[in-house]
Amino acid sequence: MTDGARVCLGQIGAAHGVRGEVRLRSFTSDPAAIADYGPLETEDGRVLEIETLRPAKDHFVVRLAGIRDRDAASALTNAKLYVPRERLPQTESADEFYHADLIGLAAVDQTGRTLGTVVAIHNFGAGDLIEVKPQAGGNTELVPFDVTHAPDVDIASGRIVIHPPEGMFRAN
């Protein structure tokens, strides 16, 4: 969900109707809050502002400034929308993190041995998972992101202590 110093807050879907509205999936914790972050930027640097936002079944329907017909709306299909990381508010507690802040952290075991690097955070419906690229190479591993398997996150030091399930990160 990050792109350099930018954080992806949503993704445009298909055009909705003929007057330039688009479907929008929001990735913010309060989905409607995506409109509160100000101008959003696409991967290619285009700046878009949400003029109106209304809920639909599993997405929002939005009108974007300057987009007034179906062709212009269709041209935005699948565009991801970003904001600079510094525009996001501070987290409310010490055990709350933005995914963007976790990506790139060194994953270490309880002895301090580096196991790999956090490359992504996923949630397939049963809780967050940390995707770690092993230092020794090979396929990435998914570790549950909970207090049992990731008891210590130290963003300032650039590391996360993990207790991986048995058999992960075996020495080659």
- Name the residue among 59, 53, 55 with its Cα closest to residue 21: 53
**CATH superfamily placement of domain 2-87:** RimM (2.40.30.60)
- Name the residue among 169, 87, 82 with its Cα closest to residue 133: 169
Which residues, other chains included, contact 60 with Cβ-Cβ below 8 Å and sequence gap of 6+?
A: 23, 24, 25, 26, 31, 32, 34, 53, 54
Burial class (CB in 10 A: 0-12, 13-18, 19+), 144: middle
Give me the chain's average pLDDT, please.
Answer: 90
Fold topology of 99-161: SH3 type barrels. (2.30.30)
What pLDDT is recorded for position 82?
A: 94
- Name the residue among 143, 82, 64, 133 with its Cα closest to residue 105: 133
What pLDDT is recorded for position 171?
A: 57
Q: Taking the domains of the chain in order of start, what are their residue ranges?
A: 2-87, 99-161
Q: How confident is the model at residue 85 (pLDDT cuts 50, 70, 90)?
A: confident
Whether 2-87 and 99-161 share one fold: the answer is no
Handedness of CA 99, 105, 109, 110 (dihedral sign): negative
What pLDDT is recorded for position 46?
A: 95
Q: 9-62, pLDDT tens digit by residue? A: 999 999 999 999 999 999 988 999 999 999 999 999 999 999 999 999 999 999
Angle at the Cα of 127 from the Cα atoms of 13 and 115, rounded to 5 degrees: 105
* pLDDT higher than threshold 50 for residue 172: no
